Amino acid sequence: MLRGVQSPLNANRYRECPEGPLSTLHLIRHGQASFGTDDYDRLSKLGKQQVAHLRDHYLRTGQRLDAIYTGRLKRQRATATILASPAVSDVKDHPGFDEYDAHTLFLAHADLTGVPLSTLRGSGPPDAREFQRRLEEVGRQWVAGALDRPGIETWKAFKSRVAGGLEHVMRESGRSKDVAICTSAGAIGAAVGHILGLTDEASLRLSWTVFNSSITRIRFDQTRCSLEVFNAVPHLEAQIDPRMLITYR
């Protein structure tokens, strides 16, 4: 878990944020999605439980949320809806927190290498380990620019979109606020990489370590921001059998 890593911000871009105590962004990865089904973009039963545990953890510890932002994917919005109930009424969509389109990247990679997507499935659901291996291979090609073509969001465009979303929320939040952003692993990796000044490949590799429903906290004001906590799951670790609850996919 990373704590207390600081990065300067462009003061001119944050001049609208009043001086005063720091605010906190809570980057929340969505709960487990429905891998291996005909609709990945929905929370599984376990995914809903993971987010409910997070909501209950916040309520139990007195952690208020002044607002919740979410990407526009179903799994992200469903996570925000569970997290918001019953204490938060202010939930806002922002396209900056949409995940990258992995399917189009897989198709581009298949076209580039001649290895069809059907090799992931065979006669049944895709194997999680083989899927992760292919995802990492596709990701490295994407970051290197090998998959750049019309209709595909480049890594640089994705990273810029996520950074723009963060900057928008920081400007809008004001001082002494706690704001959650319900998003996905790739966006969290890009956000942390942006704040820490990591290389593109390091940012992408970081995204592969993010747990479902995990908390990454960023403290900020108009001149600086700090990565306070990365990829924490205290709400799952506190349960009777956390090994059944802590998932990557």
Condensed to tens digits (0 to 9), the pLDDT of residues 121-140 reads: 555 667 778 888 999 999 99
Going by their DSSP bridges, the two strands 23-29 and 215-220 should be labelled as antiparallel
- May I ask the CATH architecture of the domain 5-100+153-244? 3-Layer(aba) Sandwich (3.40)
pLDDT at 123: 54
pLDDT at 17: 41
Is the whole model's pTM more than 0.85, yes or no? yes
Q: What is the mean pLDDT of residues 67-74?
A: 98
Domain boundaries of the chain, sorted by first residue: 5-100+153-244, 101-152
pLDDT at 85: 87
Residue in the block written with tokens 């720091």? 22
Strands (E), the chain: 5-8, 23-29, 67-70, 91-93, 178-183, 215-220, 224-232
Amino acid type, 48: K
Amino acid type, 198: L
Residue in the block written with tokens 């992408």? 204
Could you report the per-residue pLDDT of 188-199, keeping only the tens digit for each? 999 999 999 999
Q: What is the CA radius of gyration of the chain?
A: 18
pLDDT at 146: 95
| pLDDT surpasses 90 at 8 | no
pLDDT at 233: 98
pLDDT at 106: 92
